[in-house]
Structure 1
Amino acid sequence: MVFYDEKDLASLKQVLDSGALNGGEGFTAEFEGKFAEKIGSTYAVSMNSAMSLLHASIYAAGAGVGDEVICDPIVQFSAIATMYNNAYPVFADIDPDTYLIDPNSVEERITEHTKAIVCTHLWGYPTELEALRKIADERNVALIEDCAHALFVTHKGKYAGTWGHIGVFSFCSGKHLPTGDGSMGVTDDENLANRLRAVRIFGETPPELAWNFRMTALGAAVGMVQLERVQEYIAQYNANMRFYDEALKGCDWIKMRHKAPYNRISAYHYAAAFYGDKHGIEYDDFKRVVKDVGCSVNFGFTQKPAYQYDLFRAPLAYGNKGCPTKCPWYEGDFRYEDGLCPNAEDLIPRLMTMGVRNEENSRQNAALLQKAIEKMG
């Protein structure tokens, strides 16, 4: 669905003709201004990737050695960005109907060591942002939104990314607004915007530890053109979801994801969950039939929650030094044990995800999925 044409080429030529390719203030600042206006935020800060921005956002929130950050257990990105800051990732459980972080679990996991909550709007569905912001304000911690899958998603009429203290958007290839790579952080807090800007380039004599996270002007040039088209892409992706909805209609052993009526999504993948084991249907048998009919389904996503991987448990983040999860400065008692997030542990192996970016492919794949379901009897 995404396309590039002479407008993208003309925008790129402007950058090439200028000779300023490395993310100078001109093109990237213009892109930042246009993005902030579209999303409704006061400040926008561009960087070279969403991981860089998550890293910088957690830093800007004040999390460091000995501190905790509440993270999503289904994807590892916020937890890894937390460890980049030598802070301790604390995983909250998910709502099994939405696949999103559960505010009740978040509140249970907050301690005196917590500096931030990172919520992930997985596959284009917004988390319960109003509830999460209320918790963040009451407990005096930052709310950071991982909006990599959630451009122009709304929760109760307000864009995801603008409920929290910082919203992080991804422009990696395959995302809603693809520039090859890159990201945008949005905030209404001038201090946070300044902290993000301060660490995206280190210069020669930085006043504090910083990194080189600049977006290139070439990426900004593509981004400005794609920003004008992205609503068209999103509308098509959302429309393509209907093929899978239709394929699953009447199937009582594959559960469709819940969408609250007060949310507007930006489809990134179609996700559902297999519960055939509760109806006498073997998962491996279904996978075999899906493959036999030629249907493309990713089963199980990451197979298990982030905290069950050795990167967190061993720990292996910084060789054999033990930091940050076995850091002498850490005074908390959080541990990565089985059963930590029971909803996530049960859901992840059941997950089925399918692409929605191409209308005809989505139509055909959904028909093949329906065929596989019918073959199961």
Structure 2
Amino acid sequence: MSKLAIEGGKPVSAEKIALVKPTFSQKDAEDITKILKSAYVRMGPYTKEFEEKFAERVGAKYAYAVSNGTAALHCAYLSALKPGDEVIAPAFTFIATISTVMYSNAKPILADVEPDTFLLDPEKVKEKITKKTKAIAPVHLFGNSCDMKTLTEIAEDHKLLIINDCAQAHGTEYAGKDLGAWPNVSCYSFYPTKTMTTGEGGIVTTNDPELNRLGSLLRSHGDDGRYHHVLFGLNYRTTDIMSAIGLNQLSQLDDFLAKRRHNADVLLKGLKKVDGVTPQKITPKTKPSYSYFSVVLDPEKIKCNRDEFMKALMAENIDCGVHYPTSLTEQPVVRELLKPKSCPVSEDLSKRIMSLPMHPYLSDTDLDKVLKGVSKVANNYIK
């Protein structure tokens, strides 16, 4: 058995293999220079083109771009909810999924996730429905789709909206259809760690003309003409600089996805030989995008905790991360204001999950080193 690098052994990689790697092109620089020289740097023609092409790419009728993924969620909720409405969301996700519900004068209701897909459990959703429930907010975590067939049936049975958090699901398909075209609204983030990025930025897609109209107004002070305000809105506008980058990233999305899916295939095959490390299960009928590649450690087989495992792996020059280290039911502000019931699967998952490198610029040699690093650490800590 090879000695761990953290204990003085030789690391499996001489150089660090990055967890994520946002990359920009020469065309990005040229387009930005062109925009700066025009002095038209705010939301304008590049944004209009980006919205149209993104909507076309996902198969939706409408799209409106915003300043970030949180703004996308906030506009979507504000366009669909009334004060006092309840929104059922997973307990295992980034906090923006529910903080934006709160800032829409509505109430998030946390439901547990499935232990293998890490996604909203439809059976737990059913248990949380009340007379106040207005919407379900599936989070398609790490580019894996929730069970949209079952969730859509639940929504239809109870006359609920579905507000999809697709922050990590650019290009993810369920039952042959991009998530951006599923009912009722889908919200994306273009943060630097995402499958495509504009630095920050976000976008909302929908097939509902009224939700599109309201969301578009809300992102820009409720202004339907110069200084003519038909509702109280916010400044969630994007810029043409961000949209120009978005157009270039969108043109490369299919290539990004192909590379991510190849990387995932290599990692999935290799991890079958590693005991105690289990990748996220992909939901049936899903073509995932692998925004992140996450695994869980089995405490019955691995004698160290997640943080110790990661420390050893990073010493091997294999970068890794945690998404997410604390379930929403255990977040201080959530406990204080919402007093949620325990979601044991989410709470356990947050203690055992970790992410391995995933981006389009990983070579097969890099992937082999990632697998060797995981195997080396797992074998040293196997019970």
State the partner residue of 1:305: 327
2:112 pairs with one of 63, 71, 93: 93
Structure 1 residue 12, shift from structure 2 partner: 2.4
2:25 corresponds to which letter in structure 1?
D
Question: Any conservation in 2 of the 1:44–1:184 contact (CA below 8 Å)?
Answer: yes
State the partner residue of 1:328: none
2:157 pairs with one of 111, 126, 138: 138
Gaps spanning 5+ residues in structure 1: where? Answer: 316-324, 326-334
State the partner residue of 1:368: 373
1:219 matches 2:242: yes
State the partner residue of 2:98: 79
State the partner residue of 2:344: 342
State the partner residue of 1:106: 125
1:365 corresponds to which letter in structure 2?
V
- Number of residues of Structure 1 aligned to a counterpart in Structure 2: 353
1:257 corresponds to which letter in structure 2?
Q
Between the aligned partners of 1:291 and 1:9, the Cα distance in structure 2 is 33
Question: How many percent of aligned residue pairs carry the same amino acid?
Answer: 27
Once the two structures are superposed, what CA deviation does each residue of 1:201-243 show, in whole Å capped at 9, x if it has no partner?
A: 1154523221001110111111111111111112112212234
Structure 2 length normalisation: TM-score? 0.86
State the partner residue of 1:356: 358
State the partner residue of 1:235: 258
Please list, as runs of the form range in 1=range in 2, the aligned pairs for 1:1-377 lying within 5 A after superposition. Answer: 2-24=22-44, 26-64=45-83, 66-75=84-93, 76-202=95-221, 203=223, 204=227, 206-275=229-298, 277-279=299-301, 281-283=303-305, 286-287=309-310, 289-299=312-322, 301-315=323-337, 325=338, 335-337=339-341, 340-357=342-359, 358-360=361-363, 361-377=366-382
Question: Any conservation in 2 of the 1:243–1:362 contact (CA below 8 Å)?
Answer: yes
2:378 corresponds to which letter in structure 1?
I
Question: Any conservation in 2 of the 1:247–1:369 contact (CA below 8 Å)?
Answer: no
Question: Any conservation in 1 of the 2:145–2:283 contact (CA below 8 Å)?
Answer: no
Structure 1 residue 107, shift from structure 2 partner: 1.6
Looking at both structures, which has the greater relative contact order when contacts are Cα pairs under 8 Å and sequence separation is at least 6? 2
Structure 1 window deviating more from structure 2 (363-372 vs 245-254): it is 245-254
CA pair 287-181 structure 1, distance change in 2 beyond 3 A: closer
1:131 corresponds to which letter in structure 2?
T
Q: CA RMSD in A?
A: 2.0
Between the aligned partners of 1:167 and 1:63, the Cα distance in structure 2 is 19
2:39 corresponds to which letter in structure 1?
G
Structure 1 residue 59, shift from structure 2 partner: 0.9
Structure 1 window deviating more from structure 2 (279-288 vs 50-59): it is 279-288
Question: Any conservation in 1 of the 2:146–2:283 contact (CA below 8 Å)?
Answer: no
Between the aligned partners of 1:168 and 1:179, the Cα distance in structure 2 is 15
Gaps spanning 5+ residues in structure 2: where? Answer: 1-20
Structure 1 residue 291, shift from structure 2 partner: 4.8
Once the two structures are superposed, what CA deviation does each residue of 1:166-191 show, in whole Å capped at 9, x if it has no partner?
A: 01111121211111111111100000
State the partner residue of 2:12: none
Structure 1 residue 160, shift from structure 2 partner: 1.0
Structure 1 residue 362, shift from structure 2 partner: 3.9
Between the aligned partners of 2:269 and 2:121, the Cα distance in structure 1 is 28
Question: Any conservation in 2 of the 1:49–1:171 contact (CA below 8 Å)?
Answer: yes
Once the two structures are superposed, what CA deviation does each residue of 1:112-166 show, in whole Å capped at 9, x if it has no partner?
A: 1111111111111111112111211221121011111111111110111221200
Between the aligned partners of 1:171 and 1:249, the Cα distance in structure 2 is 32
Once the two structures are superposed, what CA deviation does each residue of 1:249-296 show, in whole Å capped at 9, x if it has no partner?
A: 233422222124521111111111111x22373426645643554443
Structure 1 residue 2, shift from structure 2 partner: 5.0
Between the aligned partners of 2:301 and 2:22, the Cα distance in structure 1 is 40
Question: Any conservation in 2 of the 1:55–1:82 contact (CA below 8 Å)?
Answer: yes
Q: Secondary structure at the match of 2:233?
A: coil
1:307 corresponds to which letter in structure 2?
T
Structure 1 residue 303, shift from structure 2 partner: 2.7
Q: Secondary structure at the match of 2:30?
A: helix
1:23 corresponds to which letter in structure 2?
M
Between the aligned partners of 1:206 and 1:230, the Cα distance in structure 2 is 37
Question: Any conservation in 1 of the 2:318–2:357 contact (CA below 8 Å)?
Answer: no
Question: Any conservation in 2 of the 1:153–1:160 contact (CA below 8 Å)?
Answer: yes
State the partner residue of 1:320: none
2:105 corresponds to which letter in structure 1?
N
Structure 1 length normalisation: TM-score? 0.87
Between the aligned partners of 1:58 and 1:7, the Cα distance in structure 2 is 35
State the partner residue of 1:331: none
Between the aligned partners of 1:303 and 1:356, the Cα distance in structure 2 is 19
